[in-house]
Structure 1
Amino acid sequence: MNQEQDVSTRKVILTMLKTKGALTVSDMAKQLGITEMAVRRHLNTLERDGLIESKLVRQAMGRPTNLYSLTESADELFPKKYHHLTLDLLGELMEEAGEAKVQQLFDRRKERLIGRYEEQLKGKPLSERVQTLADIQNANGYMVDWTATEDGQFIINEHNCPISQVANQYNHACQCELLMFETLLGADVERTECLVKGGMKCSYVIQEK
């Protein structure tokens, strides 16, 4: 079996566990039409990658057997449409309480994020604050890189925006991110390119105040 078929079979196994719940090797072998040995080989890879876990369960007859199920990490592989729910809820709030209330919601989120991260950046030189902020944004899915320029500035590039669907409709989200960067970095920050406004990335130029 070639590598492409291997990957395809593992995707089928993950989908099967998602739709049917925990299964034994025997269950999977029957549904896939392959040998139990072949199933175990795929399960070993998925377990190594942290996508599945096994639990030994006793049966009414015979030896205990392993039941395989998805981990929380595997759940991230499946489509999520959270932005639809978010936009619906924000739309309801806009109708009920007006735009100012929606902006207040984004402002409160910004303050909460600042409170969550400020200790990690406090007391560090600007270059380390930029590095730490880039790490935080990377962990949140923004696909960040950063560079230092010869004139002492720093540039942060975000190549992905996990909240782009929301920011497209509510630009105040972008403004809040800019203000969050300024507060956490304790520096002057200018956004020079924006994904939501048609750019290839969100790009920030940072310099000491």
Structure 2
Amino acid sequence: MTNPIRVALVDPPRQLRHTGVVKIRPEGTVVPTEKAAAVPSSSVADGDTRTAIVRLLLESGTTTASSIGERLGLSAAGVRRHLDALIEAGDAQAKSAAAWQQEGRGRPAKRYQLTAAGRAKLEHTYDDLASAAMRALREIGGDDAVHTFARRRIDTILAGVAPATTDDADDVEAAAERVADALSRAGYATTTTQVRGPLGGVQICQHHCPVSHVAEEFPELCEAEQEAMAEVLGTHVQRLATIVNGDCACTTHVPAHSPRRDPSASKRSVSQ
């Protein structure tokens, strides 16, 4: 039995074609290349144009479609198609220009800006900051401090998850689903799959890991997850695959029948 994925997977916005190729000069001026006509439109990376528009919105705060077009060497109409797609995706918004922002005669042009959701999708350096903090923690407190932090982190994520109370397969599977729910709420996009055959049991599949880049340097994060799962499920669990090792998901196998663990033993070792 396969449960539905608990995190909505949203298709990326449809990319709109444009007919020109742009080149950014070292000083930042953008002009159409002379070889644009020789490049088939099907090979033009529309995503690059969308990315360039998002960057200009970020740098400008608010700007007009015509201003973006001038800087990218595109028509205002072509830019508006990309802006409409960004607005539809919730990444940008259009606002009426203030009187002091009026340029020339006629109706004030709409001004566009990124939304909070759009900014959230931009690249950030949180992973670098987290890794630096973990290195400092190891220098100050040693390996035990890193392990303690990793356990407290996963224990917070799984706090409130009712553990399995028996070694009955249905009880363990239900507990695995509760673990998957908690992990999904923490951004791990987790599902459970019932396994038949000699192995038997259930597999917990984390299709995303929000700390994978940090875990490459600090495997204690993965080790703590496995320990905490075993305690909640009351049985031995085995990691079959991990995103850190290049697999498409972190897969943890929970056998159908296995000697029950004493969860208090690990918790006592962490607190000491």
TM-score of the aligned structures, taking structure 1 as reference length: 0.76
1:118 aligns with 2:164: no
SS at match of 1:178: helix
Deviation at 1:11? Answer: 1.8
Partner of 1:175: 223
Higher helix share: 1
Pairs within 5 Å for 1:65-80: 65-80=109-124
Whole-Å separation in 2 of the counterparts to 1:196 and 1:5: 28
Partner of 2:237: 190
1:36 aligns with 2:97: no
SS at match of 2:124: coil
| Letter matched to residue 67 of structure 1 | R
Partner of 2:206: 158
SS at match of 1:193: strand
Q: Highest Rg: 1 or 2? A: 2
Higher strand share: 1
Whole-Å separation in 2 of the counterparts to 1:71 and 1:132: 34
Pairs within 5 Å for 1:48-59: 48-59=88-99
Whole-Å separation in 1 of the counterparts to 2:208 and 2:88: 28
Q: Closer, same or farther in 2 for the Cα pair 1:70/1:181, shift >3 Å?
A: farther
Deviation at 1:142? Answer: 4.1
Q: Closer, same or farther in 2 for the Cα pair 1:96/1:8, shift >3 Å?
A: closer
1:96 aligns with 2:143: no
Long gaps (5+) in structure 2: 1-17, 19-40, 165-169, 261-272
Q: Closer, same or farther in 2 for the Cα pair 1:153/1:17, shift >3 Å?
A: same
Whole-Å separation in 2 of the counterparts to 1:25 and 1:64: 12
Task: Tell me the percent identity.
Answer: 24
Residues 162-204 of structure 1: CA distance to partner in whole angstroms, max 9, x if unpaired? Answer: 32332233222112211333355x3425123243774634321
Deviation at 1:148? Answer: 0.8
SS at match of 2:254: strand
SS at match of 1:22: coil
Deviation at 1:103? Answer: 2.1
Residues 2-43 of structure 1: CA distance to partner in whole angstroms, max 9, x if unpaired? Answer: 575543322211121123322122321222222222222111
Partners of 2:241 and 2:252 within 8 A in 1: no
Partner of 1:148: 194
Quick one: higher RCO (CA 8 Å, sep 6+), 1 or 2? Answer: 2
1:206 aligns with 2:254: yes
SS at match of 2:83: helix
Q: Closer, same or farther in 2 for the Cα pair 1:127/1:93, shift >3 Å?
A: closer
Residues 23-75 of structure 1: CA distance to partner in whole angstroms, max 9, x if unpaired? Answer: 12232122222222222211111111121122333223564543222223323
Long gaps (5+) in structure 1: none
Q: Which moved more, 1:31-40 or 1:161-170?
A: 161-170
Partners of 2:226 and 2:239 within 8 A in 1: no
Consecutive aligned runs of 4 or more in structure 1 exceeding 6 Å deviation: none
| Letter matched to residue 190 of structure 1 | V
Deviation at 1:138? Answer: 4.9
